Amino acid sequence: MRRLVRRIALATPERVNSRTRKSSRSAPRLDLRRTVRAAQHSGGEPVRLVYRRRRTRLRRLILLCDVSGSMEPYTRVFLSLLQGAIAEAEAEAFIFSTGLTRLTRQLAVRDPDQALARAAASTQDWAGGTRLAKSIRHFTNAWGRRGLARGAVVVIISDGWALDDPESVHTQMARLRRLAYRIIWVNPRKIALHYQPVVGGMAAALPFVDAFVSGHSYAALAEVAAAIRADRSYPHENTRTR
């Protein structure tokens, strides 16, 4: 199962270089410098007009995975997902429980059991409680504001059972929303009969989430991959245009 999960392709949407971005209604922009350079090889006559090419690259993928006690039944599978993302994409991986740990380097190995062992050894609060607001604040302060999350697709994998008060979760999610291109929330407990995220940390986070999926099975992880590939469907309040 974990080896299959590692093969799931987590491709993000393209990000267009702002210097070469053009609207769908405008004509291609002339690249004056390259046109002049081409003319120098033809006696000064601009026999060929050179236009700017649309530069694109995939958006960075950020994965934040809850490894608290309540998420323990799912931890191995989701860490395999993180491991596969690091191997195939421009991705950064973090785990959190009562604190946040960057895990990109530890997961950059081929063997899934070795990756899990390195992940568990990297933190002292494995299978502990969940400080969701504290962990998101740590990420935003230490990495997000330095550009890691700016314009990125951020995936949070958590059941939302947090020790923080909902107001703190709301505040930190709002900060992250202003940086990220899209926020995908993966909650394996969403599949439960009569599940309703109406209270607590999960309810506080949802207003800032673009896609809310379960990822509870291998088939459901395809929905996660589709959400990561998607473009932003609608503008959020206080969200900058990118």
Q: Is the predicted pLDDT of residue 88 greater than 90, yes or no?
A: no
Token pair of 14 as six digits = 């393209």
- The stretch 115-135 carries a mean pLDDT of 91
Average pLDDT over the chain, rounded to whole?
A: 84
Q: In the prediction, which pLDDT does 187 show?
A: 97
CA distance 96 to 173: 15
Residues 4-11 have a mean pLDDT of 60
Q: Could you tell me the sign of the dihedral formed by the alpha carbons of 91, 12, 144, 168, in that order?
A: negative
Backbone angles phi, psi at 167, to 5 degrees: -65, -40
Per-residue confidence (pLDDT) for residue 147, from 0 to 100: 87
Q: What is the pLDDT of residue 89?
A: 78
DSSP label at residue 217? S
Q: Choose among 106, 96, 102: nearest CA to 160.
A: 96
For the chain, domains (ranges, CATH) are: 2-13+58-229 (3.40.50.410), 18-54 (no CATH)
Parallel/antiparallel/unpaired status of strands 211-213 and 14-16? unpaired
- pLDDT exceeds cutoff 70 at 47: no
**pLDDT higher than threshold 80 for residue 129:** yes
Band (pLDDT 50/70/90 cuts) for residue 22 is: very low
Q: DSSP 3-state assignment of 136?
A: helix
Nearest to 65 by CA among 139, 152, 144: 139
pLDDT band at 207 (very low <50, low <70, confident <90, very high): very high
Spatial CA neighbour of 221 closest among 197, 188, 192: 188
> Strand 100-102 relative to strand 153-157: parallel, antiparallel, unpaired?
unpaired
For the cut 50, the answer to whether the pLDDT of residue 23 exceeds it is no
Residue 92 predicted with pLDDT over 50 = yes
The per-residue pLDDT for 219 is 86
Q: Please compute the mean of the pLDDT values over residues 115-121 and round it to a whole number.
A: 88
